[in-house]
Amino acid sequence: MRAVTWHGRDDVRVDTVPDPTIQDPTDVIVEITSTGICGSDLHLIDVLTPFMTVGDVMGHEPMGVVREVGPGVTELKAGDRVVVPFNISCGTCWMCNQGLQSQCETTQNREQGFGASLFGYTKLYGQVPGGQAEYLRVPFGNTLPIKVPDGPADDRFFYLSDVLPTAWQGVQYAAVPPGGSVLVLGLGPIGDMATRVAKHLGAGQVMAADTVPERVARARANGIDVLDRTAQADVVAWVRDKTDGRGPDAVIDAVGMEAHGSPAAKLAQKATAIVPDAIMEKVMQVVGVDRMAALNTAIAAVRRGGTISLSGVYGGATDPMPLMTMFDKQIQLRMGQANVWRWVPDILPLLEDEDFLGVDSFATHHVPLEQAPEAYETFRQKQDGAVKVLLKP
Ligand SMILES: NC(=O)c1ccc[n+]([C@@H]2O[C@H](COP(=O)([O-])OP(=O)(O)OC[C@H]3O[C@@H](n4cnc5c(N)ncnc54)[C@H](O)[C@@H]3O)[C@@H](O)[C@H]2O)c1
Ligand SMILES: [Zn+2]
Ligand SMILES: [Zn+2]
């Protein structure tokens, strides 16, 4: 089959690789019809390159049609339409039963000290072949795939794999009081969707900051109050002005570790290109690098006693955090990979009739899988108005 494979920094290709096969009795093979490129995939061709291996199949936002089921699969049959969550979670362990699917105890990567495996996401998360491919082997066929109705185009259900539960969890973790205020940093797919979910769930005042003109315009067209700057001083002054001088009740960081405004991040990114992987693996896990511009803005902007919710992904173990300020402002901080299945029962009904969240028109680009290298580049460079790119195998 054809699949998007990792070859190095800023280097993905479309290669022919072996078709996946049923390996465990509860496996299913899904023929992929739509598969997304995520902001998290950009980390893999940038700061997380030391954790990748040439030939790894990328992608963790797949949906499609079940073509083959293992002998132990009772809940799905060939022909069923499914969305595949990015967490590989069993659905039956203690963590899954708490709604913490990103910490699934059946797929946790204990040797690496990391949580549940993810499709297409580094040695730290199981090195499982991803979903930017014609076919995908999906384990836990009775509990993991999300069965969705036939009828509407893929775009209606597609975002259940990652963007919707991530944005939903980001808003839930932000604990915005009814009618309260929230600032969303970053208007990529995650931040944009978080503004929509926050409005839907009853936030009174939704503000956002980013600098990419198309992203700013798109959120404004949705009624979001957007500052088209990201410098900390500007953002903090702007939100205070709009919140009686206090700052918003909550801030959602939908940026992550490649925030612009982090000078040392650029150094770390350059270093991953020239320092041997074995060394950079350690460096990226344990050494502090200041690539926390967005998080620092969140800490400065949130009101005293407010909540910060991190959807953006961070690396490093000793990034300096302004702990004194966080303590003094009595900030609450929540974060983590989205627990996809935790939120599916809340979100799926919203997709069944009216398009409340605007998912049908959320993608800016639909391109053939064969054009993945160009599509990655367009998304990475934020060119051509690219906010969300769906690949079509
Ligand atoms: N927690 C999860 O489960 C989960 C799931 C998906 C994605 N993510 C993470 O969420 C983050 C966003 O993902 P995305 O797909 O929307 O990515 P993206 O790269 O398209 O979006 C990031 C946006 O942040 C903006 N930005 C950069 N620096 C900024 C700053 N200092 N202040 C405000 N905005 C700034 C950029 O211009 C860009 O529009 C990434 O870190 C990604 O890894 C997490
Ligand atoms: Zn993702
Ligand atoms: Zn589990």
For 121-176, give the DSSP string: -TGGGT-B--SSBSEEEES-TTTSSEE--SSS-THHHHGGGTHHHHHHHHHHHHTP
301 lines ligand 1 (CB under 6 A): no
CA 218 / ligand 3 centre spacing (Å): 37
What's the pLDDT at 317? 63
What is the average pLDDT value for the chain, to the nearest integer? 92
Instruction: Count CB-CB contacts under 10 A for residue 202.
Output: 12
Q: Give the residue, out of 227, 255, 314, with the most ligand 1 atoms within 8 A of its beta carbon, to mutate for a pocket test.
A: 255
pLDDT of residue 283: 54
254 lines ligand 1 (CB under 6 A): yes
Structure tokens at 385: 């108005």
Residue 343 has pLDDT above 80, yes or no: yes
| Ligand 3 mean position, distance from CA 47 (Å) | 29
pLDDT at position 226 is 98
- Confidence band (pLDDT; 50, 70, 90) for 251? very high
Q: Is the Cβ atom of 41 under 6 angstroms away from ligand 1? A: no
Amino acid 213: pLDDT: 95
Q: Residue 57: is its pLDDT beyond 90?
A: yes
Torsion of CA 23, 27, 31, 35, to 10 degrees: -110
pLDDT band at 257 (very low <50, low <70, confident <90, very high): confident
- List Cα–Cα distances, 160 to 1, 9, 25, 279, in angstroms: 25, 29, 25, 37
98: Cα within 13 Å, side-chain hemisphere: 7
pLDDT confidence of 329, banded at 50, 70, 90? very high
- Asked if pLDDT for residue 140 goes beyond 60, the answer is yes
For residue 279, pLDDT beyond 80: no
**Cβ-contact 210, 297 below 8 angstroms:** no
Is 295 close to ligand 1, i.e. is its CB under 6 Å away?
no
Q: Is 189 in the pocket of ligand 1 (CB under 6 A)?
A: yes
**Ligand 1 binding pocket includes 37 (Cβ within 6 Å):** no
Do strands 81-83 and 135-138 pair parallel, antiparallel, or not at all (unpaired)?
unpaired
Indicate whether 246 pLDDT > 70.
Answer: yes
Q: How sure is the predictor about 357, in pLDDT bands with cuts at 50, 70 and 90?
A: very high
Residue 288: what pLDDT?
41
Helix axes 189-200, 163-174, angle to 10 degrees: 60
* Residues measured by CB to lie within 5 Å of ligand 2, the ion: 38, 40, 162
Provide the pLDDT for residue 269: 54
Dist. CA 335 → ligand 3 center (Å): 19
Q: What is the pLDDT of residues 283-300, one digit of tens each?
A: 555 444 446 889 999 999
Question: Residue 256 — very low, low, confident or very high, per pLDDT cuts 50/70/90?
Answer: confident
What radius of gyration, in Å, describes the C-alpha atoms of the chain?
20
Element (H, E) at 354: none
Confidence at residue 287, expressed as pLDDT on a 0 to 100 scale: 43
Residue 340 Cβ < 6 Å to ligand 1: no
Decide: 256 in ligand 1 pocket, CB within 6 A: yes
- pLDDT of amino acid 142: 98
- pTM for this structure? 0.94
Give ion ligand 3 contacts, CB < 5 A. Answer: 89-90, 93, 96, 104, 106
Q: CA angle at residue 17 from 13 to 21, to 5 degrees?
A: 140
Q: How confident is the model at residue 272 (pLDDT cuts 50, 70, 90)?
A: low
The Cα–Cα gap between 284 and 35 comes to 28
Q: Which residue has the least CA distance to atom 5 on ligand 1?
A: 166
Per residue in 12-56, pLDDT tens?
Answer: 999 999 999 999 999 999 999 999 999 999 999 988 888 999 999
Is the CB of 192 inside a 6 Å radius of any atom of ligand 1? no
